[in-house]
Structure 1
């Protein structure tokens, strides 16, 4: 680029200060908070947004519940989009918010795609694990949960994030088999028992297949 090295480093420092990039311990630079927010916000206006939201709306109407999309970024899972039902109980999230990896269905699904030691390392570094009455707090129990998710191909939140709320999440995979996004739903347990939620997994998997084409081409 024919730009002096001191100039490049000044620019990098400026971009770090403005949170567009962030220095990584490896010595590389990675996208920062503002770059991430800009990217996620821009995706709300992509050419295929109408198709994507029609898929989400159809699933929401079939399930009669709110449905959401989350995307992985590094060791975090970021809320991306949602189609809300008309029920009064909602989880208040906005684009760019991080999801709890150890207790919501999408977070557990994401961790299940990592190597077990890496996933358990993330779990052990979560300082305050208690979120609801059924939150998993023991490492061996969480290991068994990850094994179960890998076996069945989806994740269930059994009142682990919020008391009296259950949820489910299914993966949207890239051509390489990597997790590209998580499609999830949640409901009050009085309205939708766990078994009913599990019976609706095929509907979610069909929507995930349609969304894969929409999101990844």
Structure 2
């Protein structure tokens, strides 16, 4: 089916309308109203509202706090995780992670943003006996992890301000940034340099660096990070591997876009 046909409501088969609606909501990347989505789909007004109501009732969409906008719900987020974890894609993804882990000699992680923190989607462990145990499926805070700070740095300024106003910046270690203004400065620096660090902010004795994995529209899809014990790798040591990290992120971006 061509784009020209799908933009005409009369050419969208009934059984594709809900799928295309979900696709448009996910594509926008921020809470969106039915009327904005319908600028692309061009469906009758009762139909578009009925589809949104169905998707919300079944957990694929959730209503935003303004009562009018919608964003991906629990089932749609889980669907994206399951899609990213499909066996063929994961085989290639793990090969890239293993290659990076061999180069840097430390644990490499792939994480995606969830509602309350970063979700560890994949992980390749270092061969060293001394390692940080954060298995696949672990969810870690946004504000004190390299992957979380990388994600926060990509938020729109107004969304970031709301996050910093309402999110509890709970201390995890003595190094955790708990002041919103100070964290905002750190996120500005992260955005400028293109990578995030965690210098024992989430866990005592752990250092980390993270870079973004972008989708085909240049938006953050997930993060790629290196974790290491501080006694083995200080932050400058991890930054030495930034070129390798970015190259692996570009490869992973290509895999995710297939």
- Specify the TM-score bucket, using the shorter chain as the normaliser: 0.7 to 0.9
The reply to whether residue 170 of structure 1 matches residue 217 of structure 2 is no
In structure 1, stretches of 5+ residues that fail to align are none
- Corresponding residue for residue 15 of structure 1: 58
Highest CA radius of gyration, 1 or 2?
Answer: 2
The reply to whether residue 160 of structure 1 matches residue 201 of structure 2 is yes
Measured in 2, the distance between the counterparts of 1:168 and 1:71 equals 15
The 1:151/1:31 distance shift into structure 2, 3 A limit, reads closer
205, 209, 216: which one aligns with 2:246: 205
The 1:32/1:94 distance shift into structure 2, 3 A limit, reads farther
- TM-score, normalised relative to structure 1: 0.83
More helix by share: 2
Asked which structure has the greater RCO (Cα within 8 Å, sep 6+), the reply is 1
Q: Is the 8 A contact 1:102 1:123 kept in 2?
A: no
Q: Is the 8 A contact 2:149 2:187 kept in 1?
A: yes
29, 41, 51: which one aligns with 2:92: 51
Measured in 2, the distance between the counterparts of 1:14 and 1:143 equals 36
In structure 2, stretches of 5+ residues that fail to align are 1-13, 15-45
The reply to whether residue 126 of structure 1 matches residue 167 of structure 2 is yes
- Corresponding residue for residue 89 of structure 1: 131
- TM-score, normalised relative to structure 2: 0.71
The 1:152/1:77 distance shift into structure 2, 3 A limit, reads same
- Between stretches 45-54 and 62-71, larger displacement belongs to 45-54
